[in-house]
Structure 1
């Protein structure tokens, strides 16, 4: 009897040992076998509440606006040969100022390439982008929203507003974007920025219009920016700023940053100015602006006092007049204070540039000046504003 019990006990012990060994092996080599059965048993006992998707957009969604406009936003890849070394001076890329190129270029000793964005605005293949995106490029490739990559031709560009027009030839182009009206844009409106930041692919960010008609920023010669806090980052240059209906209201151009990334202050060229420049380029190959050949200087309080001008005089001092230029032929002399053009007050140098630029070459400009305390009216026939020299870093 005793030996029989020992036999059964030994058999039981061996069976338990084998089972434990098998469990150890499974737990070590195939733990999912155990976890799956455990999860399965838990799922059977847990009740989850799930929403019923009815196909409707979430409240406040801008999906339809993005769906309409995003296919027209393209990625632009440019390259140029190894640049010649500069004489003297160093790079100012560390300055906490406006980032035209958004820090997306490699060191100068290497062949240069850059990344930007553009907007398809016509079924004929015309694209709006920034001048600084394609400036001096030897090769320009445009990547469409459907993945195709095509070569682009520069039709013309305007460094003074930072607008350029490209053209591509391809079949079945995406639907061009719809141009909006600047008059419909108000401070506080929601806007969306579309581009290719850091080369990660098409990206949409949102914000509001922070200000309109922003000038005296120091980015371009002729400024009238839409300011927005929509995140604009490296690679967004030339991309679209759209309203919540999907209409193009601006071309993203620059940000104010001390680290190269978005700090909530971005600037876009309003679509009415971009359209005006594009139409001039398509008609004439370039933008033609008026010019009178003067060297203007803003009036400070100290300068006004030294000139003996009445208190609160608004205008610009003409510290230089080009010999034989339009202003000189009209009787303007160095030291004159220009206070109005065609009867419209002139408040500062940038205002004077805009006033004269809008007068087509060959037309007359009535200049009201102060000379030795007397107000004089002179007539100057405007010339064609010379194209600015290319700057080393713009």
Structure 2
């Protein structure tokens, strides 16, 4: 009887399991059918949207949410430049006051990021070339609201600027990370307003391609190389209008300020995925100086100069009397009175070719060599005058001219 009872127990358990399994299977199948696209009763060629809800919470998505509220668009307004119509106006007696020349026009747009709110004031870092020449600055927040910005200070050399706004209007602030801790291959996002505020708070994702690249920097007005900058390279898409926006790490910290992109090589070859950002450690150092002093003091020779290659070969030979072997350097355009260069005997039309034994190919390398020293240091300058080589020691003085 015990064997028979055991056998019956096994049979009963098996039957119950089969019934339960069938019910569960039916539920699963029903659920799958509910989520699948069943076109059995629909017209051929039609379809429908699945009701499966997919939730995604990525690390970079969280980083974007942490910073995006602090990213702004910066609008540069300037007085319109005179054109041929101004001449006609003057001929027909229309004064400048009665014309539209006193109105402001939108000159350019860029990006920025609010990094501080203190004592009733908000502070935005952006690029110098975004605010260069502005008669008025307008700041647009993520929600579309606008405030007028006050320019606190700029620095052409690092291409950085600081704007102050009403602190009560600040929606959010972002914090800086340590750019010394980044590594090639780290994921990053770039946030800004590519092509202007119509595409405000756009985000692109990429990686850090290089922790340190040396690139030439240009004057925003003349386009001439004025120095060299150490920057972060990234393949996150950076387009016109992204300038001044943040490059953000996976923790939602600013590790760079987007400044430029390389669209083509020297021979005209088109390139993609080569954007550059000013490292956050350099950004913090410069903006603190701008907030405290309004300008950055650097060592200077006390001269104005142009690249020698901008001078025709005929003038290099006949006017400057340079040897044919001298093809690179900087031509001294003027020497300011009372400066160290003036005291050291450097004159207009001298051609500087070396600083402390290092070759000077142009203004960019001249600045690089000078900025490697401190105010008050003496440097040995090699130069040509009337075809003859000379040397002199110049004590570097402070300058606030960028």
- TM-score, length-scaled by structure 2: 0.63
* Distance 1:195-1:56 versus aligned 2 partners, 3 A rule: closer
Q: State the Cα distance separating 1:195 from its structure 2 match.
A: 0.6
Q: State the Cα distance separating 1:181 from its structure 2 match.
A: 2.0
Residue deviations 1:154-176 (CA, integer Å, cap 9, x gap): 11222343222101114263332
1:131 to 124, 128, 150: 128
Give the 3-state SS of the residue equivalent to 1:179 in structure 2.
coil
Is the 1:289–1:358 Cα contact (8 Å) retained in structure 2? no
Residue 265 in structure 1 maps to residue 258 in structure 2: no
2:379 to 345, 362, 366: 366
1:354 to 360, 363, 368: 368
Residue 286 in structure 1 maps to residue 284 in structure 2: no
Give the number of the structure whose residues are more often strand, by fraction.
2
Aligned equivalent of 2:63: 65
Residue 380 in structure 1 maps to residue 389 in structure 2: no
Q: State the Cα distance separating 1:50 from its structure 2 match.
A: 7.2
Residue deviations 1:327-353 (CA, integer Å, cap 9, x gap): 342356746642428xxx566442331
Residue 330 in structure 1 maps to residue 344 in structure 2: yes
* Distance 1:47-1:321 versus aligned 2 partners, 3 A rule: closer
Aligned equivalent of 2:235: 229
Give the 3-state SS of the residue equivalent to 1:161 in structure 2.
coil
Is the 1:316–1:339 Cα contact (8 Å) retained in structure 2? no
Q: State the Cα distance separating 1:364 from its structure 2 match.
A: 2.6
Is the 1:119–1:127 Cα contact (8 Å) retained in structure 2? yes
C-alpha RMSD of matched pairs (Å): 4.3
1:121 to 88, 98, 115: 115
Q: State the Cα distance separating 1:360 from its structure 2 match.
A: 5.3
Give the 3-state SS of the residue equivalent to 1:123 in structure 2.
strand
Aligned equivalent of 2:145: 148
Give the 3-state SS of the residue equivalent to 2:137 in structure 1.
strand
Question: Partners of 1:339 and 1:366 in 2: how far apart?
Answer: 7
1:112 to 80, 105, 127: 105
Is the 1:318–1:338 Cα contact (8 Å) retained in structure 2? no
Residue deviations 1:186-205 (CA, integer Å, cap 9, x gap): 34433211012232231100
Q: Please say which of residues 174-183 and 208-217 is displaced more in the overlay.
A: 208-217
Question: Partners of 2:284 and 2:256 in 1: how far apart?
Answer: 10
Is the 1:72–1:175 Cα contact (8 Å) retained in structure 2? yes
- TM-score, length-scaled by structure 1: 0.64
List gaps (5 residues or longer) in structure 2.
1-37, 86-100, 265-269, 317-321
Is the 1:232–1:262 Cα contact (8 Å) retained in structure 2? no
Question: Partners of 2:79 and 2:332 in 1: how far apart?
Answer: 41
